[in-house]
Chain A
């Protein structure tokens, strides 16, 4: 190290260290000895930060009817150090809160145990009891001044005006570790929307927490507001939410679905607003509020009928005969048929698909829809797919299958709705060319192989929400607006055009009207409502058939489109159709005239295991 020309650099480096320490010592000198303002704060010492919880936004239905409000809930807090250093009347305190001294001791042990109650400090308020009703704290509130270190804080919980719409509304619960890490807004013990629209609109509904900063002396006693309250922040109430839901219609639909497994989805076709969304079985939203939440949630989780699943958006069924409407429209659009095209039906003796109804031999489109004629729609589907033959490796056929699939998917089937506020959804399934290639080999499948698709059976799966939306598109003669819950979203006009021209819809509407007047829906028709409908009975491997119904009304100016699915109920015409017509009747006229039918439906119990309880 001789002749080191950088020799002097040691002094530069040492100088940097000396300089840093010198600056810091000067800073310390200023902070600790000169600056009186910091000392002033320091002598009165610490701040006590009290969070002010905002009240959550309210939820209204489409008519401004309040559905979800807030209720005050109280928690008793204790500053342990203050409580211990005063002559604390434990017995009196217990009496006011109606707890036993043993319970008091147990709670004390819990809150003073830093391993269970993390962040415990004897100088800051600890939650002693929580989620108390007003009447439970009233006695203590009156004589609060007697108990040093005790305070009562108010928060709000959800309050539901109706015991319904649980799947739509979702619930509010305490935040978990993941939320805390993802969003700096939350702190331990905060509430947030856990599912349903409470979760989708959490940011809007929650508002903003406020804070009140109080000054304390060195013993932790509150001395008053910090800096005259200049740094305090008011809580900002959450935004209110207006849903497209019609609460009366929702209520009726839920009542009708009692004792049945399935769902009802009703949409206003012109706006895409969801008027009713029922998944049955469901639960009373009030049962998931406050202290009972965790216990009741566990019960729902363990229920064999899976009430927590939102069947309206997550259950997947084959659409059955309701699918024939789309088949008719595609046939017309692709010019495979005209409204006057006739196909032959041989009734029970038809091949390869037999007919379940008896009607005339040569039938046209309207009658085909009215009678839900299986051979008619098989013939249509076959002609559609085979119109250019098969060519070498079935290329022509596959091309027509692809065109057909594009048509189907343009009605919103086979995919989740992405531009919506409905959080839990299933995709459904419209089989692709690739899927059939995989099952049957590239040349191994023809129209006859997939004949079940012609009548909505087989590999096709749809959710009730998709069915209702597809019905809305039919009612709108060729377009739909993404179904959504929040009315404000209707402004965004998320229009999706189908690939069918408007002119083809009239004949189909007439056919659907005939279903209600002369066809499978005739027993439950309400003529003055001008309902267009289609029933469906879906075979399934797990027992009785599922009953389906789609429909809209009135025919010339549709105000409601509906889909009803009742699992393992049998014929669509017997179960799904009456429920749908009553829901339509309720929405359009505000009342149910057919009391006998109403009584029969609500008393029907189609859930097997309900008797066992």
Chain B
């Protein structure tokens, strides 16, 4: 039986100090952005800042309780937690009231909770539990199926049933933990290529080709896939023979298309599909003949990328909500609309720009006071930081986040058991993803996707969710000390 003293001595106080620094700075900014003149006191619990203080106090309490719970609970009960969480996610849209097209809030008395904010934590536990079992090999394709399902199922529920695309995308961040465990770096590369393909298909999707039928987006993306294949053949496989066969075949496909186009209008979308099919068949044959699995991987890449390109167009027009579509179009420069969808970002850039080096000072920001930036105490709260605390404050906040994430990576690396290590990497990944997407959006570098800034944005669910995530990790880390001793 271990006593609590050894736990306290094992707690990583650096993480707690960083957590508190970010959360308190966040609270000051919530106060600043919801401040108005007739507000009587900073302690008024009916306003946003007052409410956030209550959330913060309860979150600290929640963290303290978690630190006292035996860490074995997560390993033993991991799947039960996960199952309960799935159930909650499924019933949420049934019980939820429609808030701006999203069905993700459960209201219990005076408080509203967003179960999706807690789903990340329990999914991380389940993934860590599965991947830490004996004999698990992340390099083995079959061993990836279950973890991908563990991640994919809650992701789909949140995206399709609850219509919260932002919260669903966060689950992608688990790939980082997979990568650390030895998953091929090509999978990460694959993810990046997928995103680029999506952008190409959408960006050039509505531009018609100068000759024949079909869209510029499809042509460009198909040729990009071919280019990646040829590049892989050259750099990775050093297989010049296949390279020539594939390259010549593709050239012949397009040549035939151009030739036919003289007499009848040719749809180059189909030519693209034909050339991809040729590439896949050709490489598959080589793979079987020479028994080279790495070629089979490239075939997989071709097929999935081709499906992705066709699917993107569909997803963009059929699955995304109109406002999300407009946001992406504005970001890609397809629509220039500073008064419409680009308005938020435009205003947020003005707010941040006006902060200059040291900012206008606490409560002195006019841009935010004038309520020109919507969601200024939730998703767009970084504006307030930029305006009132300037470059010093906002860069400082970014460095605080960087310090926290690096500290978590450090903690992850010093774990003695795989479960704790994977879990800690999941935490690092989730935080990195949130910070990247949220601040990238406010800085106009990424499309507007509504996810909160961890420990910083107004909202009890997200604060509790992140505290839970962090506290469990701290407990696992604290237990490491006496594991070493014992």
Contacts and interface: CB of A to CB of B under 8 A. Distances in A.
A28 B395 contact: yes
A39 B391 CA distance: 13
Interface in A118-152: 119-124
A31 B398 CA distance: 15
Interface in B376-405: 386, 390-391, 394-395, 398-399, 401-402, 405
Contact of B398 (A6, A12, A21, A181): A21
Contacts of A47: 347, 372
B366 interface: yes
Nearest to B431: A17
A107 interface: no
B357 interface: yes
Contact of B353 (A6, A18, A41, A124): A41
Interface stretch (B13-21, B202-210, B435-443): B435-443
A470 to B, nearest CB: 42
Nearest to A25: B395
A14 B431 CA distance: 13
Given A17-B405, A33-B391, A9 B432 contact: no
B369 A121 contact: yes
Contacts of A122: 36-37
A123 B370 contact: yes
Interface stretch (B74-82, B116-124, B175-183, B214-222): B175-183
B323 A184 contact: yes
A211 B339 contact: yes
A121 B36 contact: yes
Contact of A42 (B101, B351, B409, B413): B351
A114 to B, nearest CB: 7
A38 to B, nearest CB: 3
A13 B443 contact: no
A42 B36 contact: no
B428 A45 contact: no
B36 A114 contact: yes
Given A24-B440, A28-B443, A33-B391, A10 B367 contact: no
B393 to A, nearest CB: 10
A124 B443 contact: no
B366 A46 contact: yes
Nearest to B355: A32
Interface residues of B, number: 58
Interface string B406-417: 100100110110
B36 A32 contact: no
A14 B406 contact: yes
Contacts of B394: 28, 32
A24 B405 CA distance: 16
A31 B443 contact: yes
B180 A24 contact: no
A27 B391 CA distance: 10
A124 B406 contact: no
A124 B366 CA distance: 12
Interface in B418-433: 421, 425, 428, 432
Contact of B391 (A5, A32, A49): A32
B331 to A, nearest CB: 15
B343 to A, nearest CB: 8
A9 B354 contact: no
Contact of A213 (B339, B353, B395): B339
Given A28-B352, A124-B370, A181-B98, A16 B432 contact: yes
Contacts of B98: 181
Contacts of A211: 339
Given A38-B349, A123-B369, A10 B390 contact: no
Contact of A24 (B101, B354, B443): B443
Contact of A33 (B323, B356, B413, B435): B356
Interface of B is mostly: helix
A39 B386 CA distance: 12
Contact of A112 (B38, B176, B179, B415): B38
Nearest to A233: B339
B14 to A, nearest CB: 16
B402 A6 contact: no
B69 to A, nearest CB: 26
Contacts of B395: 25, 28-29
A233 B435 CA distance: 36
Interface string A32-60: 11010011011101110100000000000
A45 B365 CA distance: 10
Contacts of A49: 339
Given A28-B386, A31-B443, A32-B391, A9 B179 contact: yes
Interface string B326-359: 0000000000001100000001011111111100
A220 interface: yes
A302 interface: no
A597 interface: no
A20 interface: yes
A218 interface: yes
B292 interface: no
A54 to B, nearest CB: 16
B58 to A, nearest CB: 24
Contacts of A91: none
Contacts of A24: 398, 439-440, 443, 445
Interface in B47-87: none
B409 A39 contact: no
B135 interface: no
B291 interface: no
Most buried by B among A31, A39, A216: A31
B109 interface: no
B223 to A, nearest CB: 28
B180 A13 contact: yes
A31 B435 contact: no
Contact of B370 (A27, A42, A112, A220): A220
B5 interface: no
B371 interface: yes
A47 B439 CA distance: 23
A33 B355 CA distance: 9
Nearest to B435: A20
Contacts of B369: 121, 123
A32 B356 contact: yes
A122 B352 CA distance: 22
A149 to B, nearest CB: 14
Contacts of A10: 180, 409, 412-413
A236 B254 CA distance: 47
A9 B338 CA distance: 42
Nearest to A123: B370
Contacts of B352: 28, 31-32, 38
Nearest to A217: B366
B431 to A, nearest CB: 9
Contacts of B180: 6, 9-10, 13
Contact of B428 (A9, A13, A124): A13
A16 B353 CA distance: 26
Nearest to B38: A112
B391 A29 contact: yes
Contacts of A31: 349, 352-353, 386, 443
A231 interface: yes
B322 A17 contact: no
Given A17-B432, A32-B355, A38-B350, 5 more contacts: A28-B443, A81-B37, A121-B371, A220-B370, A231-B338
Interface of B: 36-38, 98, 100-101, 176, 179-182, 185, 322-323, 338-339, 347, 349-357, 366-367, 369-372, 386, 390-391, 394-395, 398-399, 401-402, 405-406, 409, 412-413, 415-416, 421, 425, 428, 432, 435-436, 439-440, 443, 445
Q: Ordered nearest first, which 5 A-B pairs have the shortest CB separation?
A: A42-B354, A38-B353, A32-B391, A121-B371, A21-B402
23 contacts: A9-B179, A13-B179, A17-B428, A18-B402, A28-B395, A28-B443, A32-B390, A33-B356, A35-B353, A43-B354, A46-B347, A46-B366, A46-B370, A47-B372, A112-B38, A121-B36, A123-B371, A124-B371, A181-B98, A181-B101, A211-B339, A231-B339, A233-B339
